[in-house]
C-alpha cells in the first residue's frame, strides 16, 4: 500500500521552454486533486452521510448493504411503506462489511443492516449498538426462542431484529434423483453409498467450490455439528476448545472420506460455477445456502430440492441446522432514536417481511406469523427444516471472530482441500494461530 | 511530479526586473530572492512537501509505530513490542509463500518479461511491415486495468469453462490453471508478463528511436557485426531508459496486487505481501497492528531494492 507513488515514467529531459506559471499551478492543482482522490477511500465509511441535521423529526437514516438488484429494490419498497421518512444509504455488500468498524465509529446511519450471531455480539459489546430490549418486550411473542437468542448480546440484552434467514442444506435436482432411482440419504454411510452410486453412473457426486473462501466452511460446520454436536461448535468457535483436539481431527478425517466424491479443483471454482454444474446435472448434490436458487430460473428452479445434512453420530442426529439470519440494528450514534425504534418495530412485523419476500423469494421470513401461503415449495420446506431444528447455527464466519475466520480459517480450509492428508499439521497450525488471535 | 521547481522562479524574477546598475545587480546576487520569489518558492515547494509528508511519510511512520502494537481499530492501542514480527515470521503460514511469490514475480518480470520487451522493441525498431499494427497490438494490454486482466484470466483459465483447456483439448482431465496452487502463479505471471512486455517495449522503442543512426554507421564502418553494434554501442546509450525500466519493474513486482485480488483475493497459491496487508487491515479482521507489521516488512524489502539501486547509480556516476 505504501507505493502508490506514480512511477516516474518521464525521463528527466533538460527542460526546454519554461512552463508558464499557469500550467504549473494547474499541475499542482491536479496533484492536489489526485492526492485528494487517493485519500478519499479512507473516509469512505461514513462520508455518504446526508447533512440534513435540522430537519430532525421523522427522518430516519438507513444504512443498507442490500446492494444487489433484487434485494435493493425489494427493501426500498418495504421501507417506502413504513409510514416514516426513511433515507436509504446503500453501500456495496462487501464494502459495507469490510468498512463496518470504521462506519460504526464515524457517522453511521440510525438503522443499519447486519448479521446475527458473534458478528452482532461483537459490535454490541464494543458499545457501538443501541440496546433495543424494550422493542423485544412488544415483539418478543412474534419470534421463536431461537430467534430471540440469536438477537441477544453477551450481556443478555437484545440488539438485533431478525428479518429473514436462509438455511444450508444439500441441494439436488428432483428429476435426476427420479430418473436414476436415488434415495435421499439420512446417514453418513447412506451418503457415501449414494455418492459411490453416482460416481459409477458417471456423475460427479458432490459439487464443490471454495474459490471465494467461505463456501467450504459450511461443510466443515455440518460435519462438525453432526459429529460433535452444536455445543462443541459454539465453544470451538468461541476459541474455548483446542483445534488439536481429537474431535476436530475427526471432522477433517470424516470430511476426507467424502473428498474422492467431490468435484476436484474446488479452490479454483466459484460457487456460481458449481451451482451451474448442478443445474446441468453434471454433479449430483451441492451443499450450499438457499441463495443457490438465484442461479436457476424456470424449469430448473422448480426442479430444485434439498435434504438436510445426514446424521453422523446418533447422539446428535440431524439436530442442528445452519441458517444464517440477516436483520437490523440501531447504531449507538443514532440521531433519531424514536424514529429508528419505530422503523425496527415495522421491520419486525409480518407485513414488512411478507412484502420483502415477495420480491426476493430465496429466503424465509423470521416472523412466526408471516404469510407462508405464497411460499414456493422450497421455502415451505426450509421453514419446516428450521422449525424442526433443535439448534440453529449461524455459519463459521458469523459464529467466530472475523479476524480468525478470514485470516486463518479461509487459508486453512483451502489448504486442506489441496492437501487433505496432513490433518495433524493443519490442526497444529490453526491452533497456534488461534491462540495468538484470541489472546489479542 | 513538478519539473525542477527552483529554476523557473529565478527566471521569473529576472524577467520581471528592469535593467539594473552593476552595484544593484551584485547586491541582488547576494540576496537573490525577492519576498515574492520566496513566497512562490515556498508555495511551490511547500505544498508538494506538505502533501508528501502528509500522504506518504505520515502514514509510513504511523504504520511503523502501529506495527509494534495490537489494535483492532476500536479499543485501546496496546504496545506488544516485537510480537507481531515474531508471529508473522513463525506463526503465519501464508507469509513465507507471499515473500517467495513477490520475489518470483520480480525475477520473472526482470529476467523474462523485460528482456522480451526489449527484444520486441528492437524488432519493431527495424521498421518492418505493419510495425504500427504490432506496436498497437503489443501495447494494448497495458491500457487494460489489472482488474480487467483478472477477469480475462477467468475466461481463459477457468477449469470448467475456460478457453485454455478447450484449446488444449483437456476437457476430460482439465488443468486447474487458477485453482491448483502449484501452477496458478505461473498462469498469473503469464498474464502480468503479457502486460509488462508491452509497457517495456514502448519505453525501449522510444529510446531506440532517439539513438543517433550515426553511431550505428560508425560501428558498422569499424567492422562491428549486428550483435556487437547492439550490445556495445546501442544498448549503453539506452542507459536512461534502462534505469526507468528497472525501476518500473521493481515497483510493479513489489506492488503487485490487483490481478491476484481479482482472481481469488490472493489466496491458495497466489499470496502476495500486499494482499496479506489488505487481508489483515482492511475488512472486518481489523488486525491493524499485525497488518502494519507486514506492511513494514514490505517497505523494508522495497527500500532494500531501492538502496541497492541508488548505490549502483551513484557509483557509476562517480566513475563517469
Asked if the Cβ–Cβ distance from B254 to A3 is below 8 Å, we say yes
B81 in A contact zone (CB under 8 Å): no
Interchain CB distance below 8 Å, A3 and B176: no
Which residues touch B234 (CB under 8 Å, ≥6 apart)? B208, B211, B215, B216
Q: What is the pLDDT of residues B56-90, one digit of tens each?
A: 889 889 999 999 999 887 778 889 989 899 999 99
pLDDT digits (tens, 9 = 90+) for A233-280: 999 998 999 999 999 999 999 999 999 999 988 988 889 889 999 999
Range of weakest confidence among A176-185, A283-292, B304-313: B304-313
Q: Distance (Å) from the C-alpha of residue A41 to the closest C-alpha of chain B?
A: 11
Tell whether the model's pLDDT for residue B229 goes beyond 70.
yes
Among chain A residues, the shortest Cα distance to B274 is held by A1
φ, ψ for residue A330 (rounded to 5)?
Answer: -110, 130
Least confidently predicted of A297-311, B5-19, B25-39, B208-222: B5-19
Asked if A8 has any chain B CB less than 8 Å from its own CB, the reply is yes
Cα gap A100→A103, rounded to integer Å: 5
Query: Which pLDDT does position A115 carry in this prediction?
Result: 92
Contact: A267, B264; criterion CB under 8 Å: yes
For residue A267, list chain B residues with Cβ-Cβ distance below 8 A: 176, 179-181, 264, 268
Q: Which of A1, A35, A123, A399 is the best mutation test for B, with the most CBs of B within 10 A? A: A1
pLDDT reported for residue B181: 87
With a threshold of 0.90, tell me whether the complex ipTM lies above it: no
The pLDDT, as a whole number, for residue B31 is 63
> What pLDDT was estimated at residue B29?
56
Alpha helix stretches (DSSP H) within A181-329: 188-200, 215-228, 230-237, 246-258, 271-279, 298-303
Residue A107, all three cell numbers: 457517522
User: Mean pLDDT score of chain A, rounded to an integer?
Assistant: 84
Under an 8 A CB cutoff, do A411 and B159 touch? no
**Which residues from B are below 8 Å from A11, CB to CB?**
240-241, 244
How far apart, in whole angstroms, are the C-alpha atoms of residue A410 and residue B276?
A: 13
Q: What is the pLDDT of residues B128-175, one digit of tens each?
A: 788 888 888 888 888 887 778 878 888 888 887 788 888 888 777 788
Calpha distance B15→B115 (Å, rounded): 48
Q: Is the pLDDT of residue A100 over 90?
A: no
- Out of B48, B264, B295, the one facing A1 most closely (by C-beta) is B295
A86 — phi, psi (to 5°)? -105, 130
- A432 part of contact set with chain B, CB < 8 Å: yes
**Chain A residues 113-142 within an 8 A CB cutoff of chain B:** 119, 126, 128
pLDDT computed for residue B128 by the predictor:
79
Distance between CA atoms of residues A8 and B2, nearest Å: 11
Task: Choose the closest CB to A433 out of B1, B91, B241.
Answer: B91
B44–A15: do the CB atoms touch at under 8 Å? no
Average pLDDT over residues A73-101: 89
Domain range list for chain A: 55-165+325-379, 168-322+401-439
CA angle B312, B317, B318 (to 5 degrees): 100
For residue B31, the distance in angstroms to the closest alpha carbon of chain A comes to 23
User: Which residue, among A84, A147, A92, A157, has the nearest Cα to A116 in the 3D structure?
Assistant: A147
Query: What pLDDT score was predicted for residue A126?
Result: 86
Chain B residue nearest residue A18, CA to CA: B8
Query: Chain A partners of B60 at a C-beta cutoff of 8 Å?
Result: 2
Looking at residue A311, the DSSP 8-state letter turns out to be: B
Q: How confident is the model at residue B178 (pLDDT cuts 50, 70, 90)?
A: confident
Judged against a pLDDT cut of 50, whether residue A414 lies above it is answered with: yes
Average pLDDT in the B174-183 region? 85
Q: DSSP label at A308?
A: P
Are the beta carbons of B161 and A273 separated by less than 8 Å?
yes
Domain spans in chain B, listed from the N-terminal domain onward: 7-66, 107-241
Phi, psi values for residue A400, rounded to 5°: -135, 180
**CATH node for A168-322+401-439:** 3.40.190.10
Listed in sequence order, the residues at least 6 apart from A103 whose beta carbon sits closer than 8 Å to its beta carbon are: A45, A46, A63, A96, A112
A421-to-A243, A253, B6 alpha-carbon distances in Å: 16, 9, 65
Task: Using a CB–CB cutoff of 8 Å, tell me whether A105 touches chain B.
Answer: yes
pLDDT of res. A16: 36
Q: Which residue has the higher pLDDT, A137 or A101?
A: A137
Please name the residue of chain B whose CA is at the shortest distance from the CA of residue A274: B160
More confident residue, A190 or A370: A190
CA–CA distance from A90 to each of A65, A113, A334, A367 (Å)?
6, 10, 17, 25
Please give the torsion angle defined by the CA atoms of residues B165, B168, B171 and B172, in that order, rounded to the nearest 10 degrees: -130
pTM comes to 0.78
Residue with the larger pLDDT of the pair B188 and B33: B188
Average pLDDT over residues B216-238: 87
Maximum CA extent, chain B: 91
Total residue length of chain B: 320
Q: How far is A162 from A81, CA to CA, in rounded Å?
A: 19
**CA of B53: which chain A residue's CA is closest?**
A35
Touching check for A268 and chain B: CB below 8 Å? yes
Put simply, the answer to whether A268 touches B176 (Cβ < 8 Å) is: yes
CB contact under 8 A, A432 and B91: yes
A116-153 pLDDT, tens digit each: 888 899 889 889 999 999 999 999 888 888 888 889 99
CB contact under 8 A, A15 and B3: yes
**Residue B264 forms contact with A (CB below 8 Å):** yes
> DSSP assignment, residue A291?
G
Mean pLDDT, residues A27-36 taken together = 42
What's residue A31's pLDDT? Answer: 42
Q: Which residues of A touch B180 (CB under 8 A)?
A: 265, 267-268
Give the CATH class of A55-165+325-379. Answer: alpha beta
Is the pLDDT at A170 greater than 70, yes or no?
Answer: yes
C-alpha cell at A281: 446435472
Asked if the model's pLDDT at residue A42 lies above 50, the reply is no
Burial zone of B192 (CB within 10 Å; 0-12 exposed, 13-18 middle, 19+ buried): buried
Q: Write down the pLDDT at residue B27.
A: 53
Angle at B302 between CA B300 and CA B303, to 5 degrees: 60
What residues of B are in contact with residue A265 (Cβ under 8 Å)?
159, 174, 176, 179-180
CA distance B223 to chain A (A): 32
CB B286 within 8 A of CB A9: no
State whether residue A440 sits within 8 Å of chain B by CB.
yes
- Which overall architecture, per CATH, does domain B107-241 show? Orthogonal Bundle (1.10)
With beta carbons less than 8 A apart as the criterion, state whether A344 and A169 touch.
no
**Are the C-beta atoms of residues A365 and A354 closer than 8 Å to each other?**
yes
**Two domains, one topology: A55-165+325-379 and A168-322+401-439:** yes
- What confidence tier does A57 reach under pLDDT thresholds 50, 70, 90? low
Q: Is B249 left (phi over 0), alpha (psi -120 to 50) or beta?
A: alpha
Chains A, B: CB contacts under 8 A, how many?
A: 156
Distance from CA of A274 to the nearest CA of B (A): 10
Question: How much is the pLDDT for A41?
Answer: 38
The residues, ordered by sequence, that sit 6+ positions from A376 with a Cβ below 8 Å of its Cβ are A361
Residues of A in contact with B277 (CB under 8 A): 1
Per-residue pLDDT, averaged over A402-424, amounts to 92
Cβ contacts (< 8 Å) between A277 and chain B: which residues? 160
Helix axes B288-319, B83-91, angle to 10 degrees: 90
pLDDT at B6 over 70: no
Smallest Cα–Cα separation from B66: which of B294, B301, B304?
Answer: B294
Give how far A80 is from chain B: nearest CA, Å.
Answer: 31
- The rounded mean pLDDT for chain B is 83
Amino acid at each position: 500500500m505504501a507505493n502508490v507513488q506514480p512511477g516516474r515514467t518521464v525521463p528527466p529531459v533538460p527542460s526546454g521552454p519554461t512552463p508558464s506559471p499557469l500550467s504549473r499551478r494547474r499541475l499542482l492543482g491536479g496533484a492536489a486533486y489526485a492526492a485528494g482522490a487517493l485519500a478519499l477511500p479512507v473516509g469512505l465509511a461514513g462520508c455518504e452521510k446526508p447533512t440534513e441535521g435540522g430537519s430532525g423529526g421523522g427522518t430516519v437514516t438507513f444504512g443498507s448493504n442490500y446492494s444487489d438488484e433484487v434485494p435493493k429494490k425489494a427493501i426500498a419498497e418495504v421501507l417506502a411503506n413504513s409510514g416514516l421518512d426513511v433515507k436509504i444509504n446503500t453501500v456495496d455488500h462487501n464494502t459495507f462489511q469490510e468498512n463496518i468498524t470504521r462506519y460504526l465509529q464515524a457517522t453511521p446511519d440510525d438503522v443499519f443492516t447486519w448479521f446475527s450471531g458473534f458478528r452482532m455480539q461483537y459490535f454490541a459489546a464494543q458499545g457501538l449498538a443501541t440496546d433495543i430490549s424494550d422493542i423485544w418486550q412488544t415483539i418478543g411473542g412474534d419470534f421463536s426462542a431461537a430467534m430471540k437468542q440469536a438477537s441477544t448480546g453477551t450481556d443478555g440484552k437484545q440488539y438485533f431484529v431478525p428479518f429473514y434467514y436462509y438455511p444450508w442444506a444439500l441441494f439436488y435436482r428432483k428429476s435426476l434423483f427420479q430418473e436414476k432411482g436415488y434415495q435421499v440419504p439420512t446417514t453418513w454411510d447412506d451418503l457415501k453409498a449414494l455418492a459411490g452410486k453416482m460416481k459409477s453412473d458417471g456423475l460427479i457426486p458432490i459439487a464443490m467450490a471454495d474459490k471465494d473462501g467461505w463456501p467450504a466452511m459450511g461443510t466443515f460446520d455440518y460435519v462438525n455439528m453432526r459429529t460433535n454436536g452444536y455445543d462443541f461448535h459454539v465453544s470451538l468457535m468461541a476459541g474455548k476448545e483446542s483445534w488439536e483436539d481429537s474431535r476436530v481431527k475427526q471432522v477433517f478425517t470424516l470430511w476426507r472420506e467424502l473428498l474422492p466424491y467431490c468435484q476436484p479443483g474446488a479452490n479454483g471454482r466459484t460457487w456460481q460455477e458449481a451451482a451451474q454444474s448442478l443445474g446441468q446435472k453434471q454433479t449430483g448434490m451441492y451443499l450450499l445456502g438457499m441463495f443457490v436458487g438465484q442461479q436457476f430460473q424456470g424449469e430448473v428452479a422448480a426442479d430444485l430440492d434439498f435434504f438436510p445434512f445426514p446424521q453422523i453420530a446418533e447422539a446428535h442426529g440431524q439436530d442442528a441446522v445452519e441458517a444464517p439470519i440477516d436483520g437490523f440494528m440501531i447504531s449507538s450514534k443514532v440521531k433519531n432514536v424514536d424514529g429508528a425504534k419505530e422503523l425496527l418495530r415495522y421491520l419486525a412485523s409480518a407485513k414488512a417481511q411478507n412484502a420483502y419476500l415477495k420480491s426476493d423469494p430465496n429466503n424465509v421470513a423470521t416472523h412466526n406469523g408471516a404469510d407462508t401461503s405464497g411460499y414456493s415449495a422450497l421455502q415451505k420446506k426450509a421453514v419446516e427444516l428450521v422449525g424442526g431444528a433443535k439448534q440453529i447455527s449461524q455459519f463459521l464466519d458469523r459464529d467466530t471472530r472475523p479476524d480468525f475466520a478470514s485470516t486463518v480459517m479461509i487459508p486453512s480450509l483451502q489448504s486442506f482441500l489441496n492437501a487433505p492428508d496432513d490433518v495433524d499439521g493443519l490442526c497444529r497450525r490453526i491452533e497456534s494461530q488461534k491462540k495468538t488471535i484470541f489472546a489479542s | 511530479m513538478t519539473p525542477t521547481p527552483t529554476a523557473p522562479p529565478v527566471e521569473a524574477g529576472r524577467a520581471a526586473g528592469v535593467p539594473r546598475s552593476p552595484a544593484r545587480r551584485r547586491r541582488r546576487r547576494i540576496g537573490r530572492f525577492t519576498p515574492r520569489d520566496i513566497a512562490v518558492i515556498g508555495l511551490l515547494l511547500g505544498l508538494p512537501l506538505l502533501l508528501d509528508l502528509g500522504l506518504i511519510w505520515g502514514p509510513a511512520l504511523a504504520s511503523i509505530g502501529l506495527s509494534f502494537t495490537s489494535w483492532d481499530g476500536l479499543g485501546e492501542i496496546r504496545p506488544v513490542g516485537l510480537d507481531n514480527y515474531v508471529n508473522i515470521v513463525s506463526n503465519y503460514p501464508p507469509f513465507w509463500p507471499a515473500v517467495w511469490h513477490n520475489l518470483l514475480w520480480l525475477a520473472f518480470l526482470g529476467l523474462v518479461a523485460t528482456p522480451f520487451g526489449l527484444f520486441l522493441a528492437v524488432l519493431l525498431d527495424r521498421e518492418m511491415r505493419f510495425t504500427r499494427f504490432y506496436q498497437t497490438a503489443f501495447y494494448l494490454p497495458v491500457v487494460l486495468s489489472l482488474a480487467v486482466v483478472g477477469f480475462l484470466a477467468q475466461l481463459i483459465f477457468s477449469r470448467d469453462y475456460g478457453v485454455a483447456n478447450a484449446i488444449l483439448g483437456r476437457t476430460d482431465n482439465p488443468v486447474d490453471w487458477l485453482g491448483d496452487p502449484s501452477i496458478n502463479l505461473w498462469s498469473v505471471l503469464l498474464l502480468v508478463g503479457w502486460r509488462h512486455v508491452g509497457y517495456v517495449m514502448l519505453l525501449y522503442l522510444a529510446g531506440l528511436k532517439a539513438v543517433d543512426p550515426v553511431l550505428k554507421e560508425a560501428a558498422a564502418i569499424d567492422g562491428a557485426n549486428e550483435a556487437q553494434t547492439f550490445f556495445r554501442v546501442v544498448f549503453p546509450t539506452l542507459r536512461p531508459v534502462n534505469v526507468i525500466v528497472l525501476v518500473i519493474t521493481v515497483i510493479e513486482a513489489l506492488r503487485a496486487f490487483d490481478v491476484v485480488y481479482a482472481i481469488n483475493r490472493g489466496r491458495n497459491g497466489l499470496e502476495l505481501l500486499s494482499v496479506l496487508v489488505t487481508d489483515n487491515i482492511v475488512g472486518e479482521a481489523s488486525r491493524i497492528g499485525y497488518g502494519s507489521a507486514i506492511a513494514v516488512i514490505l517497505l523494508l524489502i522495497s527500500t532494500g531494492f531501492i538502496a541497492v539501486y541508488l548505490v549502483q547509480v551513484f557509483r557509476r556516476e562517480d566513475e563517469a
